[in-house]
Amino acid sequence: MHEEIKDILKRNNLSVTGSREKILSLFLSKAGALAHGDIEKKAGEKFDRVTVYRTLQTFVDKGIIHAIPTADNSIRYALCKDDCSGGHHHDHHIHFVCNHCGNTYCLDDVVTPEVRLPNGYTTSQIEVVVEGTCKACNK
What is the three-state SS of 81-106? CCCCCCCCCCCCEEEEEECCCCCEEE
Q: Is 88 a residue that touches its own copies (CB under 8 A)?
A: no
Taking the CA atoms of 94, 49, 27 and 138 in sequence, report the sign of the dihedral they define: negative
48 binds, among DNA, its own copies, none (CB under 5 to 8 A by kind): DNA
Stretch binding DNA (CB under 7 A), from 17-25, 76-84, 105-113, 114-122 = 17-25
Could you tell me the CA-to-CA distances from 100 to 65, 96, 104 in Å, in that order? 24, 12, 11
Q: Which of residues 57-86 bind DNA (CB under 7 A)?
A: 57-58, 75
Report the length, in residues, of the chain.
139
Q: Is 13 a residue that touches its own copies (CB under 8 A)?
A: no
Q: 40 φ, ψ to 5°?
A: -60, -45
Give the one residue of 2, 28, 31, 53 binding DNA; rule: CB under 7 A: 53
Give the one residue of 4, 7, 10, 90 binding DNA; rule: CB under 7 A: 10
User: Applying CB under 8 A, which residues contact its own copies?
Assistant: 67, 69-71, 73, 75, 94, 96, 99, 107, 109-110, 113-135, 138-139
